[in-house]
Amino acid sequence: MTNTTTSTILPFNQTNPMHSHIPFHSNTMTKPRNLNLTFLLQDIQILEIFLAVLVFIIIHSLRQKKHHGLAVWPVLGMVPSLVTGLRTNLYEWITEVLKRQNGTFRFKGPWFSNLNCIVTSDPRNLEHLLKTKFPLYPKGGYFRNTVRELLGDGIFNADDDTWQKQRKTASIEFHSTKFRQLTTESLFELVHYRLLPVLEASVKKSVAIDLQDILLRLTFDNVCMIAFGVDPGCLQLGLPEIPFAKAFEDATEATVFRFVTPTCLWKAMKFLNLGMERKLNKSIKGVDEFAESVIRTRKKELSLQCEDSKQRLDLLTVFMRLKDENGQAYSDKFLRDICVNFILAGRDTSSVALSWFFWLLEQNPQVEENILAEICKVVSQRKDIEREEFDNSLRFRPEEIKKMDYLHAALSEALRLYPSVPVDHKEVVEDDTFPDGTVLKKGTKVIYAIYAMGRMEGIWGKDCKEFKPERWLRDGRFMSESAYKFTAFNGGPRLCLGKDFAYYQMKYAAASIVYRYHVKVVENHPVEPKLALTMYMKHGLKVNLYQRDAAQIQKHLEDGLK
């Protein structure tokens, strides 16, 4: 090795400016030349060793890919591969890795980081962590500390007793007839007096609208009515900016930012009140001010026993009437946390699902036609209405919405392919082993990849990437799937509390729009998911609406009567 190296160095040395500092005199040639050679030998050997080590590291890191699914680099772990994923579509990237690894892989973060975790899409593991071993898999300290300012001790952020207490009370409330009445009535008003006029205005002016923004406004107003008993008025002509809604959005965005920032860095930024932490601080103040003023007013109302307060069924009023385990009223801070958490849960999940649904409909015109046929069939069975009344003023009845199985299936199919919560997480509190054999040490974070689950041939068959509502139907009736296979609403004891309401809300809004308009996405409008806790469309959904042809509706109504 040394010989071959020596024979190639002289010319290199003479031209290499790096070595120009070595003295070179013709009359003293032998000595400095030897000296020169020694240095060069050392240099080249170091270089060779360096290159050999580098080649070894590259080969070794890349060979790890076979075993771990991704290259594992010294110090950086799998982060270089993650960066590639982040530059494309992260959810698709995770799906591909999971496919290669039979549904589960261990992500190795950089040394001394908190990014190590297990990622899984295996339904057996999902059932294990969400149901069978539920107490072993809480949300955990990392999540709680990261979202503490926004969510406090609310249901989303709580484990154990704090969670159980809220879950029990809210669950009774969500399943009560009166509460269902509140939700259906508030939605009815929002759709007919606010959503449809805004859509109609865009049709009259022939202007494109951002349907995702409009749907987000609809569900924000709706969930505030349910949680606080207050209508913020985001959805109205002119689409105004509402300070509370803006503060809530900023606070959520700044909180999400913490998940992609090293903990020590965001803590330092918080201490110095800089950047996103400054934004978080300011927006949390906006959220708190709004909550405090609603709580203050409601307390006054309740103490005066006025008629209005007796009729109230919103969550805030329900929790205000209750006492804690010591017989004390809940603190204002706890009441604020409860409401903020429900707003977060119900604010954008249904609206982003509807946005993906309308986008999928445009690519699947037969599904749109089938939905329209179903809507017309259901309403044509009304006995107490004249045929002429099937115009734009038609209002669906709750029992009609329930009969729309094909629409239910199409929405489920949209959620399977584009789940509003694309990934979720837990933290294991004891050493454990997953049903697929993966060993977990206490404290390991577990990510369950809901988006990837919808695209696994092993779960949904060869046609898993196709939008096929029919896969949810047996003899025309909707058949639900196991929550550990279709995890869009989570599963086990922490199954989404708002699931039934969300379906009702989505079906009501979708049917009201599809019956009246054909939604056409603006040409070349880019559609891709945004990287956030909820799967928003990154650029919104720019669409034009076209009034339905009366003859088309008439034909479907007649077919429905056959």
Binding residues for heme: 496
Instruction: Using the minimum distance from each CB to ligand HEM, give the nearer residue, 105 or 489.
Output: 489
- Minimum gap (Å) between residue 450 Cβ and ligand HEM: 7
- Closest approach of ligand HEM to the CB of residue 170, in Å: 6
Nearer CB in complex with ligand HEM: 429/557? 429
**Chosen residue from 346, 454, 469, 529 binding ligand HEM by CB under 6 A:** 346
Residues 34-73 interacting with ligand HEM (rule: CB under 6 A): none
Question: Do the Cβ atoms of 123 and 477 come closer than 8 Å?
Answer: no
Q: Which is nearer to ligand HEM, 126 or 223 (CB)?
A: 223
| Beta carbon nearer to ligand HEM, 81 or 183 | 183
Give the nearer residue to ligand HEM in terms of CB position, either 78 or 352. 352
Count residues binding ligand HEM (CB under 6 A): 24
* Touching ligand HEM, residues 413-472 (CB under 6 A): 415, 420-421, 424
| Rounded least distance, CB 508 to ligand HEM, Å | 12
Shortest CB 74 distance to ligand HEM, Å: 34
Return d(Cα 426, Cα 180) in angstroms, integer.
31
Q: CA nearest 251: which of 132, 336, 322?
A: 336
Geometric angle at alpha carbon 188, from 386 and 467, rounded to 5°: 90
| Residue 79 or 226 with smaller CB distance to ligand HEM | 226
Taking a C-beta distance cutoff of 8 angstroms, is the pair 283, 251 a contact? yes
Helix (H, G, I), strand (E, B) or coil at 532: coil
Residue (of 272, 258, 275, 290) closest to 149 by Cα position? 258
Report 135-164 residues binding ligand HEM (CB under 6 A): 155-156
Which 237-266 positions form the footprint of ligand HEM (CB under 6 A)? none
Paired with 520 in beta bridges are 544
Q: Would you say 140 or 346 has its CB closer to ligand HEM?
A: 346
When the beta carbons of 43 and 500 are compared against ligand HEM, the nearer one is 500
Spell out the SS3 assignment of 132-165: HCHHHCCCCHHHHHHHHHHHCCCHHHCCHHHHHH
Q: Closer to ligand HEM at the Cβ: 507 or 556?
A: 507
Select the residue interacting with ligand HEM from 93, 179, 334, 489 (CB under 6 A). 489
Neighbours of 115 (CB within 10 A): 14
Largest CA distance in the chain: 118
Least Å from the CB of residue 391 to ligand HEM: 30
DSSP string covering 283-340: HHHHHHHHHHHHHHHHHHHHHTT-HHHHH--SHHHHHHH-B-TTSPBPPHHHHHHHHH
Residue 495 near residue 175 (C-beta atoms within 8 A): no
| Piece of 62-70, 462-470, 496-504, 550-558 that binds ligand HEM (CB under 6 A) | 496-504
Of residues 108 and 139, the one with the C-beta less far from ligand HEM? 139
Confirm or reject binding of residue 490 to ligand HEM (CB under 6 A): yes
Contacts with ligand HEM in 387-416 (CB under 6 A)? Answer: 415
Q: Name the closest residue to ligand HEM (Cβ).
A: 498
DSSP conformation class of 522: P
DSSP per residue, 22-36: S---GGG-HHHHHHH
Determine, following the binding rule CB under 6 A, whether residue 497 of this chain makes contact with ligand HEM.
Answer: yes
How near is the Cβ of 334 to ligand HEM at its closest, in Å?
15
DSSP 73: B
Pairing of strands 517-521, 104-107: unpaired
Could you tell me the smallest distance in angstroms from the CB atom of residue 529 to ligand HEM?
14
Angle separating helix axes 243-259 and 332-347, nearest 10 degrees: 80
For the CA atoms of 69, 74, 75, 78, the dihedral, rounded to the nearest 10 degrees, stands at -10
Q: Is 488 in the site for ligand HEM (CB under 6 A)?
A: yes
Q: Provide the minimum distance between the beta carbon of 486 and ligand HEM in the complex, in angstroms, as a whole number.
A: 10
Rg (CA), the chain: 30
**Is 223 near ligand HEM (CB under 6 A)?**
yes
Residue 226 near ligand HEM by CB under 6 A: yes
> With b meaning 16 or more CB within 10 Å and e meaning fewer, what string describes 388-411?
eebeeebebeeebbebbbbbbbbb
d(CA 439, CA 452): 21
Q: Which stretch binds ligand HEM (CB under 6 A): 102-110, 360-368, 370-378, 493-501?
A: 493-501
CB of 560 to ligand HEM, least distance (A): 28
Q: Which residue, 93 or 501, is less far from ligand HEM as judged by CB?
A: 501
Q: By CB under 6 A, is residue 342 in contact with ligand HEM? A: yes
| β 432-433/117-120 pair status | unpaired
Binding span for ligand HEM by CB under 6 A among 87-95, 114-122, 249-257, 346-354: 346-354
User: What is the binding site for ligand HEM (CB under 6 A)?
Assistant: 155-156, 167, 223, 226, 342, 345-346, 349-350, 353, 415, 420-421, 424, 488-490, 494, 496-498, 501-502
